[in-house]
Amino acid sequence: MKDENKAWRMLEQKAADQLRGDFAGRVLRAGRGPSDAAWSELYEVAGDQLRLGFADRVMRAVRRRVPSLAGQFAFGALVAAACVAAVIVVHRRESSRIEAQNLAQWQSFLADDQVMAYRQ
């Protein structure tokens, strides 16, 4: 019986040795969740990320003019209109060039035809 008790105590001791230091404290802290101090520290760390003169930088960025939505739309419409006009001009020029080329070919063909008819 004595040996059995001793064995149990040894087993308990072995199990207890597995627990790292301040086990109870850790369990209680985990059970309570993060303290206000931890949250405050988080906010402290975050606040320290803002470089000196943060407010001035924000105000400078605000003052920088941003094109309005209407302005952006008008600019887009202007670019689109310019593109369409360019396409129309290029198309017209190309069409008249091809037309002139075809006419010249036809005239040359007609002239050849007339020469052949005259010879016959």
Partner 1 sequence: MESTEASTIEPTVRSAQQGDESAQRELIVAYQRRVAGFVYAVTGRSDCVEDLCQLVFIKMVRALGGLQAPAQFEAWLFRLARNVCIDHLRRERLRRIFVPFAAEHSEVAEPDGAVDSEELDALRHALSRLRPDERALLALAQEGRSQVEMADITGTSVVVVKARLYRARERLREFYQPKNNHDS
- By CB under 8 A, name the binding residues for partner 1: 20-22, 25-26, 29-35, 37-47, 49-51, 54-59, 61-62
Tell me whether residue 59 or residue 87 sits nearer to partner 1 (CB atom).
Answer: 59
- Is 67 within 8 Å of 75 (Cβ atoms)? yes
- Is 62 within 8 Å of 70 (Cβ atoms)? no
CB of 16 to partner 1, least distance (A): 16
CB of 20 to partner 1, least distance (A): 5
Question: Encoding tokens for residue 120?
Answer: 């016959």
Tell me whether residue 50 or residue 78 sits nearer to partner 1 (CB atom).
Answer: 50
Residues in CB range of 32: below 8 A, 6 or more apart: none
CB of 13 to partner 1, least distance (A): 20
Tell me whether residue 10 or residue 28 sits nearer to partner 1 (CB atom).
Answer: 28
Tell me whether residue 4 or residue 44 sits nearer to partner 1 (CB atom).
Answer: 44
Place of tokens 């990320």: 49
Encode 66-82: b = buried (16+ Cβ within 10 Å), e = exposed.
eeeeeeeeeeeeeeeee
